Amino acid sequence: MNGYRVPNIDKINNMVFAEKIRPFKTKLNKLLFLCGFSAIQKTLLFDKRINLSIQKGPVPRNYDWIFDNTMVKKMVNIQLQDYGEYIGERFVKAAGAEFHEELFPKVS
């Protein structure tokens, strides 16, 4: 009942799957954090120590590894977009990649 469990990497890879939204890294970090935080709130007692922050807000732990793994599995690619003083990293669906909806049971 402490919330710690072995992560399901196939499920995480499918959460990063960027077919419709095509998010930038910052938005994807926020979405992944909120998914995990929401699951914890629904299944366990709230624990304020779970929050992990970087300069621009809460993110999942080891987020770089998550994104690297998803690219290695050929589910997403990163497109770089130049915005003058910074470059944004946008996640897009890799050619031939498919989303596996069956990994996510319907919640009532």
Contacts of residue 30, Cβ cutoff 8 Å, sequence gap at least 6: 57, 58, 59
pLDDT digits (tens, 9 = 90+) for 23-61: 888 888 888 877 776 766 666 654 554 445 556 566 777
Average model confidence (pLDDT) for the chain?
77
What dihedral do alpha carbons 47, 105, 101, 70 form, nearest 10°? Answer: 30
pLDDT at 29: 81
- Judge if pTM exceeds 0.85: no
pLDDT at 77: 92
Into which CATH architecture does domain 9-95 fall? Orthogonal Bundle (1.10)
